[in-house]
Structure formats: structure tokens, C-alpha cells
Structure 1
Amino acid sequence: MYRFLLTPRWLGILALTLVAAAVMVLLGNWQLDRYEQRTAVNERIDAGSRGTPAPLRDALPAPTGGAGSVGPAPAEQVEWSRVTATGRYDAANVVLIRGRTVDSKVGFEVLAPLVLTDGTAVLVDRGWVPPAPGGAMAMPQVPALPTGEVTVVGRVHPTETGGAGVDRRDGRLETRRVTVDKIARELPYPVHGAYLLLDEQTPANDPAFRAVPIGHANNWQNFGYVIQWWLFAAMSLFGYGWVARREARRAAGLDAPKRPVDRAAEPATPA
């Protein structure tokens, strides 16, 4: 019944089905890898909220180049961990990150370089402020930086990617993304390869700032794609088997349509 499967036509259909199923399985495996990566990020975020702050030097390598250079990126296991650092804010190089949303409102995140005793600096995200009246891009009122020595506790945030360059407006640097290497080119000292989301500060941070929330990665979306692609692979193989069985039954006459009975041709039943 199934010798037709060895014909060139059916062998070609089988090859296409196997290739399609293999591609779907690989796509599912790729989404599984993305799920595992995002799950690991979420676990680091949760662990960071509970961890004891470590000294900045223990978590983030110091830059070794000259002014405008950037230090190494943090190790993956260090991202989102809490660290502490002490230095003095550089009020001449405050950085505004425009177009940032907190609680469904568009405003600015405010970064300030914290210059350490060794002459290097780490960018500290002090928080979010709303724009001035006149639109989402209107220059905000930024609370003054504390003077003197400051101790901060914050989360290690990896540098963002993309975005345009850094402009200077009304005496402040302004950009769209926290791209550490681009910001560092505008600063007169070497900068660490990640920035800090401020949790605590001594003296206390100005209450006008809103804390920037740390969003968890949507890992369950990737897990849904895993199931989807693997189901598609199974359905393609099932579909091939179903079509092949139907063809075999048709060739054997098992699925031939029944001829209708002509009632008029039947002999009359005697009374």
C-alpha cells in the first residue's frame, strides 16, 4: 500500500517536510536559549535587590586609559548587583537623558559623574524628573547636586546601545540613550564601563527625583515561542503521515465513494 512513498514525488515531499520540521525545531531551540538568558537576567535583578552592597572596585574594573576613555564592561554575573562608591559629583557635566518614561509619563533621567579619589568617575543615574511646562522635551528643573563628599549605593546597569551622539544644551549634556562610551568622550576623566541606578545616597537624594524602575525581561514570551515552533514541527510531520495514509487508502480502494442504491431498480416486494 505504501510503495508510492518511494516515488520521486513523495520522496521530495518527505525531504521538504523533514527540512521544514528541522528548521522549526532549531527556531524553538533558539527561543529556548533566549528564554534561559532572560530568566538569568531576571534572577540577577531579584538577587541584586536583596544583596549587600559591595565596593565598586570589587564589582566593576577601573578604567586604565586617559580622559574620555571607558573601562571594561562588568561581568555578566555582576550586572544589577548593588555596589557602593564614594566621591564628589561633577556639577559641570550633568547629563540629561531625554524621552524616558516613568509611570507612563515622559521626562528626563538625570546622570551625574561621581569623581572618585583616583580621578576616575562612574555615572550615577540620580532618577527621573518631569519636563518643564511646554512639552516633553522642555528643559526640566534639575535639583542641585550635593557638594562635598557623597556616598552612593546603586545597581550596576550595563551600558545601553544605539542612540545618537551627545549634545550640550543650556550648559548640560543631553542625549537619548545612556551609552557610556559616547558620554565619556565629552568628559575630562576616564569613566567606568557601566553606570549606577541610584538606590541610596548620603547626603540623601533630592525628593523631587523619582526612582527609575528596573523592568524584568519578558521571558515567558520566549517560552511561548518555544512551544509554538515545536508544535509546528510536530504538526508538519503528522500532516505528512496523514496525507500519506489517505493516499494509501485511496489507492487500495478503501476510501472509494459508495455508489448510491437505485431504489427504483429494486424488485417490488410482493404483498
Structure 2
Amino acid sequence: MRKAIVHILIGAAVIVMVFMGLWQLDRLDTKQKLNQEVQERTATAPLPIEEVVAVNDLWEIGGSLEFRRVTATGKYRDQDNVLIRNRSLNGAPGYWLLTPLLIEEDLAVIVNRGWIPLSAEDFSPESVGGVRISGLIRETTEASGLQKSDRADGVLESFGRVDLKRYQEQLSYKIYPVFIQLESQEPENQDQGIPLKLEIPNFDDGPHLNYAVQWFCFAAVFAIGYPVVLWRNNKKAGGKNKHSEIPIDYL
């Protein structure tokens, strides 16, 4: 009975390991398809944001448009700046600086102008009047799971994440349901080297293939190694039995 339970547990372990390997391969396939889709989006020529997104689109629209290149022309509303906390760059702590870009009198798009260090918390870029920007569409994010949400009331000067829905609540004009990660601006700000523009994320395949190989190797070790161990143990046991069957008188 004890041996049967061990056999069942080993068999179940092999099945689970194979399943985990297949799951990692499935995640790899999903990741590769997503990377291909994102690369195709970034390769397209930039279009004015109003030709890509409607101001009345759902907040979730950003997921299907993320990393699409767009342009926008308007004037920054620096008095409505917001900082995104806990953002690091090359290991240094800091913030992202978000500013509404007024495209029309009652319509704006939020622009992530880049990273600033903790010491520049009160920094505000020099006003340059009207600008034309180009950048990547990024989607809004909300607190999930055990994450702490930002305070629901009042005017906040900093957020824990780029929550456009919460940002909209403290503005007197409409904003697009996506924001732009700034890549270029004309004319440029003549400041002290900040904000530092963010780089495009690295779209690699991740560790999924390595994880899949590891799971399959573990499964192979159990599937091959365990029968070998049983065979060797049975062989040893058989040898002992033969030895014990020799008559004492013969010795």
C-alpha cells in the first residue's frame, strides 16, 4: 500500500511538472504575439491623437492602443501638474511628472513628461507656450489586489499610479482616456536637464522558455530516475533472496 501511494505521488508530480512546462510555453506564445503586435504599433507613422482615440471612449481603450505613436498640439497646464510616486531611474528614486496638454479650451491629453529626482519635487518646467509633441499612447491604471488606492476626495498633488479616472475628478476640463509618454517636443524646454524622457520598455520574450525547459527537465528526472531507482532496488532485493535460498548444509 505504501509503495502504491509513492507511485501515485511520483506520477502526479510528473504530470504537474509537464503541465507547468506547457503553461510556460503558452505564456511564451502569448508574450511573443503581444510583442509582435506592440512592435507593429510602434512602427506605424504617428497620427494626431484625435484620429486614434475619441475623448468619450472607455477608460479601458488604452489596452488595445498602447505604444501606438501619436502627436498632439496645445499648451501645457503646469498648474495642474501631478507627480507619480515611487518611480526609479537607474536605481535612483524619483517621480514621473504628468501635465495636461490643453488641445482645446475644454479638452486635454495627459502627458508623461518624464522622470525627476526626489530632490526636484517642487520642480516645474519653464513655460514655452504652444508645443507640438510626439509620443506613445499608454493606458490608465488603477489599484488592484492589496494595492492602496489614492484618496478619493480633494485635489491631489501626487498619485501612486497613473490613474486617469481619478485625475479627471480634479480637473475642470475633459481629458482623453489615455496618456502620452513623451518622446519629442517642439520647442524643447530649456531646463536643467529634467525631466528625463522615459525609454520604450524592452519587449523581449521573458524567462518563459527557460522556465519551461526547467519544468520538463524536472519531469524527466522523476519520470526516468524513479523507475531506475525501483529497478536497482528490486535487483538488490532479488540478489539477497537468492543468497538466502542457499542451503546451510551446502556451506
- Structure 1 residue 118: Cα displacement: 8.1
Which of 13, 16, 28 is matched with 1:20 structurally?
A: 13
- Structure 1 residue 181: Cα displacement: 2.3
Q: In 1, are the aligned partners of 2:84 and 2:161 still within 8 Å (CA)? A: yes
> Which amino acid in 1 is paired with 2:88?
T
2:142 paired with 1:157: no
Partner of 2:200: 214
TM-score, normalization: structure 1? 0.73
Report SS of the residue matched to 1:140: coil
Aligned residue runs from structure 1 range 1-271, under 5 A: 8-44=1-37, 46-63=39-56, 71-76=59-64, 78-117=65-104, 119-132=106-119, 139-148=121-130, 150-162=131-143, 164-165=149-150, 173-207=157-191, 208=193, 209-216=195-202, 219-253=205-239
- Structure 1 residue 40: Cα displacement: 4.1
Distance 1:120 1:187 in 2: 10
- What root-mean-square deviation, in Å, do the aligned CA atoms of Structure 1 and Structure 2 show? 3.3
- Structure 1 residue 254: Cα displacement: 8.3
Partner of 2:249: none
Report SS of the residue matched to 2:104: coil
TM-score, normalization: structure 2? 0.77
Deviations 1:89-146 (A, max 9, x none): 32331111233222332222211112333834321111222333xxxxx623221343
* Structure 2, gaps ≥5 residues long: 244-251
Aligned-residue identity in percent: 28
Distance 2:201 2:43 in 1: 16
Q: In 2, are the aligned partners of 1:25 and 1:233 still within 8 Å (CA)? A: yes
Q: Computing the radius of gyration over CA atoms, which structure comes out larger, 1 or 2?
A: 1
Distance 2:41 2:237 in 1: 66
> Which amino acid in 2 is paired with 1:165?
D
Deviations 1:4-63 (A, max 9, x none): xxxx44433332222111211222223223333444444455445543112323433432
Q: In 1, are the aligned partners of 2:72 and 2:134 still within 8 Å (CA)? A: yes
Partner of 1:3: none
Q: CA separation of 1:160/1:36 partners in 2, compared to 1, >3 Å: closer, same or farther?
A: farther
* Structure 1, gaps ≥5 residues long: 1-7, 65-69, 133-137, 258-271
Q: In 2, are the aligned partners of 1:96 and 1:175 still within 8 Å (CA)? A: yes
